[in-house]
Amino acid sequence: MAEPNFKNRTLYHGDNLSFLRGMNSETVQLIATDPPFNKNRDFHATPDSLAAGARFKDRWRWHDDVHEEWTDSIKDDWPAVESLIAGARLAYGDDMGAFLYWLGVRLMEMHRVLRQDGTLYLHCDPTASHYLKLMLDAIYGRQNFRNEIIWHYRRWTAASRNFQRMHDVLLRYTKSDAFTFNLLYEPYGDWIDKDYRYVDEETGRRWRWHTVKGKRYKVFLEDRDRGVKLNDVWQIPYLGSTAKERTGYPTQKPLALYRRIIKASSNEGDIVLDPFCGCATTPVAAEQLGRQWVGIDIWDKAHETVLARLAAEGMLTADKPPPQFWTKRVHYETAPPRRSDRNELAAPSLKLKTPRPLEPWEKLSHRQMKKILAQAQRSNGNVICAGCGRELEREFMELDHIRPRADGGENHIRNRILLCRPCNGRKAQYLTLRGLLHANKKAQWLKDEGLAQLAREHARERADWVRDNFDSAECQALIGG
Ligand SMILES: C[S@@+](CC[C@H](N)C(=O)[O-])C[C@H]1O[C@@H](n2cnc3c(N)ncnc32)[C@H](O)[C@@H]1O
């Protein structure tokens, strides 16, 4: 396991993707985070509050927010994630697709930095919780899903034609089966005195009658002080506008909620990370409970707010003006940490890979590869499928791997081919091209084996030519034009 390459009490300022990518793998015990939820609005802090001036956007647009680099790499390395995002885009709209891509790449890096005994709590609400659960099943593994926790609160809401919306959702996933979990209890309600209405004269313990098949037994209340085991519906009051811990930050969450998460899934001294830490509720809760912490936020006022909050909580004492003379110094960084491990990034099938530097010809986008291969496999104005030999219009062709990703096949053009949609579906993530030919023969889908072979040869020749002539004007015109 790698050593952390960041210090306790660090607050990173900027887009969390670059900071997450800079963190060593498997270094963090707990990630408790509350990203934007795709609420299609912008949030602003209350003027004159501690957080005055803070704002962040929670609107997502396909053309502005989705990078070709992400879609390509997710399509290649995380086919299940790509399919579910495509489904969400169809069912909900482009904005949900864009939001899921944006958050998906970050959830993959969070998975990488989590230790084997680590846990993720993803705070969301019903706007996207169902799509996010699918995505976490695909990234963290459905066997690592532990709870859907309902945070139930009461607040004032306007009249509407729906039942009042009074809950958020916390999705809890672990990295493996060997996770940290401390069972928590909450006090018994008043019902307990009514239910266990008798008191044993000798021991003072409460008890009640329990009847089984007509026979009555005495049942003692085990431990009055310890309370009842916590279930997955958490009643924690919403932060009112006059609450003492209010900083004015628009989406601030109660400390009680994050303290509970931290107590349940980490021990003293463990490292807690919040990559969307806002006004630092997670760092403050972690500090209160004797955990180490790292917070990341794109908002530039986060640092001042954390210091002011920690000081208000009595956890920092200053004899000189902040920030350099705080006795427990908070490190404020704007550059990502330097990796001191093997530099792995989140990669296919949850395996970690050590990236090697790519040659320029290996970095072609899907669009560019499709264009080159469509020319190589063309015939009579159409494109020949390299799986069945059918001649179809380019729109019916899909880019696939010759050697599957699951088998170590690479993403560059020399391992690519264009297949018609049925062949691509049949090949899925596991068949080789040879395996596809056999499957097509069996299913009587193979139309012209000779043509399919010709298409493959032309594609291979063209890919070799691109590799060998990448810098030539002809090749550049082919890629760019
Ligand atoms: C819902 S708020 C978190 C509120 C936090 N739980 C609290 O109690 O204050 C989401 C936060 O994510 C931050 N954020 C949005 N995009 C980000 C990005 N790419 N990198 C880092 N932080 C980001 C926003 O600035 C905002 O503070």
What are the structural domains, with CATH classification, of the chain?
10-176+232-346 (3.40.50.150), 185-229 (no CATH), 356-480 (no CATH)
CA distance 89 to 62: 10
pLDDT at position 324 is 47
Q: Could you tell me the pLDDT band of residue 75, with boundaries at 50, 70 and 90?
A: confident
Q: What percent of the chain has pLDDT over 70?
A: 90
For residue 15, how far is its CA from the centre of ligand 1 (angstroms)? 10
Atom 4 (ligand 1) nearest CA: 278
**Predicted TM-score of the model (pTM):** 0.79
Which atom number of ligand 1 is nearest to the Cα of residue 16? 20
Q: Could you tell me the pLDDT band of residue 119, with boundaries at 50, 70 and 90?
A: very high
Segment 37-62, tens digit of pLDDT: 777 777 676 666 666 776 767 777 88
CA distance 435 to 433: 5
Euclidean distance between the first and final Cα of the chain, in Å?
A: 47
Contact between 297 and 306 under an 8 Å Cβ cutoff? The reply is no
For residue 183, how far is its CA from the centre of ligand 1 (angstroms)? 29
Which atom number of ligand 1 is nearest to the Cα of residue 249? 9
Atom 12 (ligand 1) nearest CA: 276
Block residue for tokens 């949850």: 350
Atom 6 (ligand 1) nearest CA: 34
Which atom number of ligand 1 is nearest to the Cα of residue 35? 10
Which atom number of ligand 1 is nearest to the Cα of residue 296? 21
* CA separation, residue 154 to residues 164, 236, 254, 256 (Å): 9, 9, 13, 15
| C-alpha 385 chain-centroid distance | 36
Which atom number of ligand 1 is nearest to the Cα of residue 279? 9
* CA separation, residue 320 to residues 285, 307, 371 (Å): 25, 14, 64
Sign of the C-alpha dihedral computed for residues 202, 205, 209 and 213 taken in this order: negative
Residue 351 has pLDDT above 60, yes or no: no
Which atom number of ligand 1 is nearest to the Cα of residue 33? 6
Q: In the predicted model, what is the mean pLDDT of residues 426-434? A: 80
The answer to which of 58-72, 107-121, 359-373 has the lowest mean pLDDT is 58-72
Q: In the predicted model, what is the mean pLDDT of residues 444-463? A: 94
pLDDT at position 318 is 57
- Residue to mutate (ligand 1; options 56, 59, 262, 303; most atoms within 8 A of CB): 56
DSSP letter for 247, please: -
The 3-state DSSP class for residue 329 equals coil
DSSP letter for 374, please: H
- Name residues contacting ligand 1 (CB within 6 A): 15-16, 34-36, 56, 249, 251-253, 276, 278-279, 281, 296-299
For residue 355, how far is its CA from the centre of ligand 1 (angstroms)? 29
pLDDT at position 235 is 94
Q: Could you tell me the pLDDT band of residue 350, with boundaries at 50, 70 and 90?
A: very low
* CA separation, residue 48 to residues 52, 63, 248, 305 (Å): 6, 36, 8, 13
More confident residue, 151 or 395: 151
